[in-house]
Amino acid sequence: MLPAGPFNVNEGQQTGAVPTQSALTKYATPGGASNALETPGLGISSGSATAGSSDDMLYVLGQQYLQDDGLWAGRLTPIDLTTGGVGTAISVSDSAPGSRTKMIVADDNTLWLGGVRCAEGERYATGQPYGCLTMFNTTTNSVTTIEPFQGDLTGIAAVTTLHKVYIAEGGQVYIYKTTDGTAMNNFYVTVTGTAYDVAYMDGTSDANNTTY
């Protein structure tokens, strides 16, 4: 964690200097780090990062290299920003290392996340659900990998108070319920051409849309 001014991170950039005037607080995330999202009001107890208390949480999405088979596996690492406790990495949808990933907080205490080239990771190779989209419930710590595989996930928008999210996946738009992760009828939102991203124009804040 660091207090920093605006800065750009290029696609595929692995290293580089970050403009900051303060000391860095470093966390070792066992599942790697390609994206992160802070969710105030969710926290840990007894120094072990799990959902359910009132502390400030940071969820870090990454890809972990597995030495036994040479594949990459999607991991979500919870960090309690109040105590600095780093939780156990949680298995989520795989994505290509160094690629852009998406994360957003939606209704019903859910965190939605995903990336691209998820059919090249550990889940596909071992016969597990391998869709590019994951719904993570921050209250129960439960993981739902959304199936079937639709292609690369490139956009997520949370339609808050209506309990749904819009997803750009495989060049098309899909809608899912935040209550249980099931798909909704998307007949009236199908597009001609390739859908790369989605946005909720009536959102109450920028947090309704992913822009990173």
pLDDT, residue 54, reads 43
Query: Measured between alpha carbons, how far is 19 from 59 in angstroms, rounded to an integer?
Result: 22
Tell me which residue has tokens 């780090």.
33
What backbone torsions phi and psi does residue 162 show, to the nearest 5 degrees?
-105, 0
Query: Measured between alpha carbons, how far is 152 from 146 in angstroms, rounded to an integer?
Result: 13
Per-residue pLDDT of 102-120, as tens digits, reads 999 999 999 999 999 999 9
Burial of residue 13 (number of CB atoms within 10 Å: 0-12, 13-18, 19+): exposed
Residue type, 168: A
Per-residue pLDDT of 30-64, as tens digits, reads 788 889 988 864 433 333 344 444 468 899 999 99
